[in-house]
Amino acid sequence: MKKFGLLIIGIILGALAMYFYCCNKGDMITDPPIIKPPSGIITPEKIMTLDQAYNERYQIINDSLFKDSKTGDNRSSWYRLEDIEAYLAYAKQQAKDNGNTLDGLRLYLGAYPDTSTEEPGLTTLFFVPTGYANTSEGSFFSMQGGSGDLKKSDGLNIGGTGHPPSANYPQ
């Protein structure tokens, strides 16, 4: 009878412990996680300053190369969020298939050739994946080469232009 009483007390204590564990677990996660900004974040005021500082360069380029153009050269490039997310997944897989690890993206300024049917002569921005070669599986020190461009990986272009293409920040 004494052992039976200890068994009942054990069951009751176990049930109470489970009750507090299960019920309080949900209360602990009521606040959404705090998302910390990544390094390199700039304020809208800094964006305006950088945009305005580019005006002189843009004017020189536009006046010399695009003086007869209806719209002027591109000042910005817009990408759909879905395209960037899909590109990141694609670039990670392509880097892995090529024996590399994707660790970033580099933005390049480029220009369509004057013979292009897309946007003859206009400036474009395109993404190029960066990373490093996987030197060995599971190596702790596998990032020996730094963040160079992954030359066997595809880039991302065909962003939309501003409205009009010569428009300053904000649009």
How high is the pLDDT of residue 39?
85
Mean per-residue pLDDT over the chain, rounded: 82
Confidence of residue 13 (pLDDT cuts 50, 70, 90): confident
Predicted local confidence at residue 158, as pLDDT:
78
pLDDT band at residue 145 using 50, 70 and 90 as cut-offs? very low
Position 52 confidence tier, pLDDT thresholds 50, 70, 90: very high
56-72 pLDDT, tens digit each: 988 898 888 887 777 77
The amino acid sitting at 154 is: D
* Of 114 and 101, more confident: 101
- Strand 100-111, strand 148-149: pairing: unpaired
Is pLDDT above 70 for 142? no
Residue 156 has pLDDT above 50, yes or no: yes
Mean pLDDT in residue range 119-131: 85
- Of residues 116 and 6, the one with the higher pLDDT is 6
pLDDT range class, residue 25, cuts 50, 70, 90: low
